[in-house]
Amino acid sequence: MEYEVVIGIETHVQLKTQSKMWCGCANAFGAEPNTQVCPVCLGLPGVLPVANEEALRLTTLTGLLLNCTIARYAKFDRKNYFYPDAPKNYQITQYDKPSTFKGFLDFEFQGGIARVNITRAHLEEDVGKNFHFDRSSGVDFNRAGVPLLEIVSEPEITSADMAHEYLNALKEVLTYGGISDCDMEKGMVRCDVNVSVRPKGQTALGAKIEIKNMNSFSGARRALEYEIPRQIEVVSKGGKLSQETRRWNDEAGITETMRSKEQAHDYRYFPEPDLMPFAPDDDWIASVQRRVVELPLARKQRFMRDFDLPAADAQAFVWDVPLGNYFERAAQQTKSPKTVANWVINNLRARLTETQTTLENLKFPPESLVDLTGLIESGKISTKIAQDVFIEMFNSGEPPSAIVEKSGLSQVSDVDALGKFCDEAIASNPKSVGDYRAGKVAALNALKGQVMKLTKGKANPNLVGEILENKLKN
């Protein structure tokens, strides 16, 4: 029997705000333990939370970026549980009235575009971090109360690879939108995966198994690559799976039972009495709407369509937004955007990295690259000379035409002048001449190289070839 896999993913993302969700403590990674805490985020008695407006904005912005409906009435709830990392013994979250819901994310997958629907994206707070020592344990509450967004996908993902691509695409959107820095090593993005299997064609879902403790997207993929065959094996042997939570053991490369359905928490959700419901009006949503940016996939498709770029080039401009913007300004002024893209990717990007220069400090405008490629296309300079001109314009900021003019780098296209160099090359390379006349066509390249050397690379190589051929025929 054939089986199919159903996967849903819950992604937790720390929002990029200056301060925490309910207090003014800094939202910053890496400080000494328990130095970014106050009575509010330590859950001391008698304190009141005050919502961080930027976190509310970023939540709405995420909703807009993920094509969600923005709730005009959202509220906060208490999720009750006792665990050392939760100082209040409850977490403030959004239960039945989330800020945004019913959206979707499109992403590239297996040569096409896949869509995964988003159930909801709701706002909550992060908890502290437990540390275990030889004979004791400690908790760092610096992270407690950091605004956290939970993005829940519909169970529509059908493979480990698709889950991996979904997570990457989601991360790209969140980074692009300025929602989060999504630094996985700093724990800014975490995910839990729900996975079940069922015989192909069956509509009812199989037993839902949740996998936790994956600290990278590749970890999530590996966990699924282990868990899916495990479930299929149990079911295909006539066994029965029951709903449970499993832990991914990254070192061993296996999932292990954490708790069964019977041990599942009852969180006793109830409305947070210390916070007003959140009911954004048109103006407020419009102010967030102005922060919506073009998403990576849309940008890639636009660059491929408008500038006729291959996917790899367009992708390079998706990964490096400022570089892409720079290219775009140049591309709008040329008929050969692909040539300009080559210069931006192969020369400009490499040079910026080598010299540790940022685009803001770049000395020449995009127009100079258009100028440079124009000089090559019109045959004024060779591609080789263009490399030297590029270095010069990178260093001085001078327009390429001026550099060519000033230093006499203009390509020699004068047949008489080139003819003399060709004669010289023929006279001093009797062996190559003999080879060529004996039918070894490749010998012409040696002579051509000689002329390029004599002219210090300034000769028009195609013209040199023609002249040499004519001379050797006679």
Which residues bind to Zn ion, rule: CB under 5 A? Answer: 23, 25, 38, 40-41
Give the residue with the Cβ less far from Zn ion, 78 or 222.
Answer: 78
Q: Shortest Cβ distance from residue 123 to Zn ion (Å)?
A: 17
Q: Comparing C-alpha atoms, which of 438, 200, 471 is closest to residue 450?
A: 471
Q: Comparing C-alpha atoms, which of 444, 443, 377, 445 is closest to residue 411?
A: 377
Q: Shortest Cβ distance from residue 124 to Zn ion (Å)?
A: 16
Q: Shortest Cβ distance from residue 295 to Zn ion (Å)?
A: 34
Instruction: For residue 113, list its beta bridge partners.
Output: 108
Give the residue with the Cβ less far from Zn ion, 27 or 411.
Answer: 27
Give the residue with the Cβ less far from Zn ion, 88 or 221.
Answer: 88
Give the residue with the Cβ less far from Zn ion, 142 or 432.
Answer: 142
Angle at which helices 282-289 and 53-65 pack, to 10 degrees? 70
Taking the C-alpha atoms of residue 38 and residue 46, their distance in angstroms, rounded to an integer, is 12
Give the residue with the Cβ less far from Zn ion, 258 or 275.
Answer: 275
Q: Shortest Cβ distance from residue 142 to Zn ion (Å)?
A: 9
Q: Shortest Cβ distance from residue 275 to Zn ion (Å)?
A: 16
Q: Shortest Cβ distance from residue 24 to Zn ion (Å)?
A: 7
For the chain, how big is the Rg over CA atoms in Å?
A: 31
CA-to-CA separations, 372 to 78, 392, 459, 463, in angstroms, rounded: 63, 12, 17, 21
Neighbour tally for 382: CB within 10 Å = 22
The DSSP-derived string for 445-473 is: HHHHHHHHHHTTT-B-HHHHHHHHHHHHH
Give the residue with the Cβ less far from Zn ion, 23 or 468.
Answer: 23
Give the residue with the Cβ less far from Zn ion, 36 or 255.
Answer: 36
As a whole number of Å, the end-to-end CA separation of the chain is 78
Neighbour tally for 461: CB within 10 Å = 17
Neighbour tally for 86: CB within 10 Å = 19
Taking the C-alpha atoms of residue 232 and residue 6, their distance in angstroms, rounded to an integer, is 12
Q: Shortest Cβ distance from residue 35 to Zn ion (Å)?
A: 11
Taking the C-alpha atoms of residue 201 and residue 98, their distance in angstroms, rounded to an integer, is 33
Give the residue with the Cβ less far from Zn ion, 25 or 454.
Answer: 25
Angle at which helices 311-319 and 296-307 pack, to 10 degrees? 140
Q: Shortest Cβ distance from residue 22 to Zn ion (Å)?
A: 7
Q: Shortest Cβ distance from residue 38 to Zn ion (Å)?
A: 3
| 17 φ, ψ (degrees, to nearest 5) | -120, 160
Q: Shortest Cβ distance from residue 309 to Zn ion (Å)?
A: 48
Give the residue with the Cβ less far from Zn ion, 23 or 314.
Answer: 23
Token pair of 462 as six digits: 């195609």
CA-to-CA separations, 387 to 152, 346, 370, 384, 445, in angstroms, rounded: 50, 11, 14, 5, 21
Give the residue with the Cβ less far from Zn ion, 40 or 316.
Answer: 40
Angle at which helices 430-437 and 461-473 pack, to 10 degrees? 70
